[in-house]
Amino acid sequence: MALRTRIITRAFSNLTHKPKLQVLGNGSSDVIRADPTGSPVSNCGSSFSTAAAAVEAPASASASASVERLFGLVKEYEDYRRGLYGGLTHKALLVDAVGTLVIPSQPMAQIYKQIGEKYGVEYSEDEILKRYRWAYGQPWGRSRLRYVNDGRPFWQHIVSCSTGCSDSQYFEELYNYYTTEKAWHLCDPEAERVFQALRAAGVKLAIVSNFDTRLRPVLRALNCDHWFDAVAVSAEVEAEKPNPTIFLKACELLGVNPDDAVHVGDDRRNDIWGARDAGCDAWLWGSDVVSFKEVAQRIGVEV
């Protein structure tokens, strides 16, 4: 029943109508996700737990029949996609970076405190996290984008607000730390093997991320930049998710139509709704799919 619950949950996620979004130039969101100089700070999860509970315990034979019908529709759709592309459901896979491909190795507040102590930072980790959340959640008024080029003005503001320290040497040490392999690790240790199998099967791969220009050095530091055929980063594309422009740019770089691509990311608003507004399919990391092996299997590639 647990497997069926997950499949039905995915079905609701894929078939439920999505609202059109008013794209905000400052990238503001009702949740705070993982970011280029910190760890995931949102304590808000989004799931279809109510729908899943209904699947676990159907109230009537009618409800059970509806579940079976939905299960059949999902299978019918995936079989239809495979028929179009010679056994594959999609020609391209788009992958979110922070929170999906990679995650910070240590909590943001711990690093801000640890590096900051020699520069006079006295706030506790709890206070740093609280101030960080507040600063990150405020509109960024200096530009329509938070991450312009290397993102330094934005991150200088965030670091100063979070720690009370405006020392330029402190900022540079902290900023540069987040370009190293010490700061990050892969979410899925099987990622390389899976991506190799996908590319061997003819599936094109791209990163789609709200990040500044440090993303490419981060990917090189983790020795995973060569896994992908293209990288669409908001600081270069000049559009932040959920703006469909960044997804369309990724598809353009790969040479595929949006409806031939599926995007995987951990943020329902930025990744799922944004990708669908661009015309792509989308799966929520941690809910619709929990590993890249599962992503590959859903596309039709055995690893």
pLDDT digits (tens, 9 = 90+) for 78-97: 777 777 767 899 999 999 99
The span from the CA of 19 to the CA of 116, in Å, is: 43
Tokens (6 digits) for 246: 């960044």
The span from the CA of 289 to the CA of 193, in Å, is: 17
pLDDT at 282: 97
The span from the CA of 68 to the CA of 197, in Å, is: 32
The span from the CA of 167 to the CA of 267, in Å, is: 33
CA angle 157, 158, 164 (to 5 degrees): 85
Closest CA to 246 of 218, 226, 275: 275
**Is residue 22's pLDDT more than 70?**
no
Question: What is the arithmetic mean of pLDDT over 183-196?
Answer: 97
Number of Cβ atoms within 10 Å of the Cβ of 203: 26
pLDDT, averaged across the chain: 83
End-to-end CA distance of the chain: 25
pLDDT in tens, 197-249: 999 999 999 999 999 999 999 999 999 999 999 999 999 999 999 999 999 99
pLDDT at 59: 52
**Is residue 179's pLDDT more than 80?**
yes
pLDDT at 17: 38
Closest CA to 209 of 258, 255, 146, 162: 146
Tokens (6 digits) for 262: 């599926």
**Is residue 175's pLDDT more than 70?**
yes
Tokens (6 digits) for 28: 């503001």
pLDDT in tens, 23-72: 223 333 333 344 445 444 433 333 333 344 444 444 567 777 776 777 67
Helix, strand, coil shares of the chain, percent, nearest 5, are: 50, 10, 40
Query: What is the dihedral sign for C-alpha 6, 10, 16, 21?
Result: positive
HSE-up of 196 (CA within 13 Å, CB side)?
6
pLDDT at 231: 98
16 falls in which pLDDT band (50, 70, 90)?
very low
Between residues 79 and 151, the one the model is more confident about: 151
pLDDT at 78: 75
pLDDT in tens, 129-143: 999 999 998 988 887
pLDDT at 280: 97
CB 46 within 8 A of CB 268: yes
String of DSSP letters for 195-219: HHHHHHTT-EEEEEE---TTHHHHH
pLDDT at 110: 97
pLDDT at 4: 45
Query: To which residue do tokens 């990238």 refer?
Result: 27
The span from the CA of 175 to the CA of 166, in Å, is: 13
